[in-house]
Structure 1
């Protein structure tokens, strides 16, 4: 880790003197839905995937280094990163994946730290799709919350949402932590097999817990 990354980690550590939760789950598990429900109840939500989208949107900070590293063929007509093309490229080339991560991860870390410093809310929720895989979020947050669902449901949701084939979705799932690995790392689990109505009591229970824990810090 370079000094800039270390400074951003220090910045995150200072903000997470407040009560903070790392929210994660496999693709299609419903992380955004769950995060939005916590936000409605007063939590400050910082979504690292949304930050990544902003960085790779037209005129985003990551566009110039992506063009420099990969060429303009990976930029679409709007000036944003062509996510489908880049996804296909990095799945077929592990070194390309590492090169993209070396561009994006420091930028995401910096933006996440800045957002956390400015965040106002009852407590902080960091939405991190690859929280388990990244290895260092355990030290940054007070609790890890996993959104869990049956893998067949995951598969169906992502195929429908992203218009991907079953083999494409399975390839994405294969790059992520397993369901068991996520559950083993979890302090708290929300089951999302049945839709928003079944989520409500689970959210209410954890929101009450997180408020109480926040007040105790």
Structure 2
């Protein structure tokens, strides 16, 4: 099952996107609709709201008077938090029941206006944000919802700031144009990414990658994207994961790299790695088959010490290599040290960049990147391994020491 979190600022066009995804075949879980259901007349939810806010928030028929309640809470963060504390748990329980009834291979879209505000980002395979500039949304509220400008700005201020929402997004749908433009974006997202992503999760398959190595200039957004992925991975197996860290070339500022994010997950032993493999698969990171070995670096020949498990992303829109290694193992240590060495030493970073460009040119016409990876092995053995060790000795670098699985802390 592919779980999509859909959000956007008020008047961004989120409801239009939700409706189109439902037409295309998604199972839609509408938090707003559920929020109305859980405070319908006669429900425990409505009784709780009345106890907190008084009978004045009911209309003549005993139903919740939403404009009146909105006038109370939207200008008062404490009262808004009190209302959310009543309604949000009820909404989540009912949403969970709808999701549990969905087919195993479904694309489930949860339309959640306050997804970011309530910290639910890591609960989804992807977060889709529908975006439009603040002034565009303001005009829509005044024109189509009969709000005053003051009322509209108050509603906008009650939600997360636009930059905060965008920082949580895996996908941004721009709704500054026409409805037809937005529907076209949704259709392309569905066909090119969501459908194959759901199929890959169902089949426990890593998304296909074709073509030889293509290096791109360093993208500062790689760090943000890695952060989103790491949060999901920690949430996938909190009792087994010691840490997840961004490694590889995309983690080194200023270094050209293939647009593939490398992450390292630290575990206590490979038995833990194997236990968590189904959980990682369900989270969208299926395993590549077989027990893989890192190449021994700097004359360390013990193959067993370099064993790891390798997972990839089922998402065709974001290639990922997830290296699951035992904390304290040589491969784990080298991945962290190599990243930190290149970050600290511009000359080492530039030397590696030159080697990457040389090897990428040799393998530009390949159908995969395996030849590119193999060609770099000699440089790692002869240059990277010794160079990193000399830097570690001279700088006093030491790898982190993790407290315990699920703690989120590092011992220092």
Query: What TM-score bracket applies, with the shorter chain setting the length?
Result: 0.7 to 0.9
Deviates more, 1:161-170 or 1:25-34: 161-170
CA apart distance, 1:50 = 1.2
Tell me which of 21, 43, 46 is aligned to 2:29: 46
Name the count of aligned residue pairs. Answer: 199
Q: CA–CA distance in 2 between the matches of 1:96 and 1:115?
A: 29
Partner of 1:15: none
> Which structure 2 residues correspond to residues 1-217 of structure 1 after superposition, within 5 A?
18-120=1-103, 122-135=106-119, 137-208=120-191, 209-217=193-201
Q: CA–CA distance in 2 between the matches of 1:103 and 1:35?
A: 25
Cα contact 1:58–1:78 (8 A) shared by 2: no
CA apart distance, 1:100 = 1.3
Deviates more, 1:93-102 or 1:30-39: 93-102
Q: Rg larger in 1 or in 2?
A: 2
Relative to structure 1, the CA distance from residue 154 to residue 111 in structure 2 (aligned partners, 3 Å threshold; closer, same or farther) is same
Relative to structure 1, the CA distance from residue 142 to residue 67 in structure 2 (aligned partners, 3 Å threshold; closer, same or farther) is same
For the residue of structure 2 that corresponds to 1:97, the secondary structure is helix
What is the TM-score with the length of structure 2 in the denominator?
0.46
Cα contact 1:74–1:81 (8 A) shared by 2: yes
Relative to structure 1, the CA distance from residue 162 to residue 60 in structure 2 (aligned partners, 3 Å threshold; closer, same or farther) is farther
CA apart distance, 1:72 = 1.1
Q: CA–CA distance in 2 between the matches of 1:35 and 1:47?
A: 8
CA apart distance, 1:108 = 0.8
Structure 1: gaps (5+ residues)? 1-17
CA apart distance, 1:86 = 0.9
CA apart distance, 1:52 = 0.7
Q: CA–CA distance in 1 between the matches of 2:76 and 2:40?
A: 23
Cα contact 1:48–1:108 (8 A) shared by 2: yes
CA apart distance, 1:182 = 1.4
Deviates more, 1:118-127 or 1:62-71: 118-127
For the residue of structure 1 that corresponds to 2:124, the secondary structure is coil
Q: CA–CA distance in 1 between the matches of 2:133 and 2:78?
A: 31
Partner of 1:11: none
Relative to structure 1, the CA distance from residue 65 to residue 193 in structure 2 (aligned partners, 3 Å threshold; closer, same or farther) is same
Q: CA–CA distance in 1 between the matches of 2:76 and 2:177?
A: 36
CA apart distance, 1:99 = 2.0
How much is the aligned-residue C-alpha RMSD, in angstroms?
A: 1.6
Partner of 1:8: none
CA apart distance, 1:40 = 0.5
Which has the larger helix fraction? 1
Structure 2: gaps (5+ residues)? 202-412
Flag as ranges the 4+ runs of structure 1 deviating above 6 A: none
Q: CA–CA distance in 1 between the matches of 2:37 and 2:146?
A: 22
CA apart distance, 1:81 = 1.1
Relative to structure 1, the CA distance from residue 80 to residue 193 in structure 2 (aligned partners, 3 Å threshold; closer, same or farther) is same
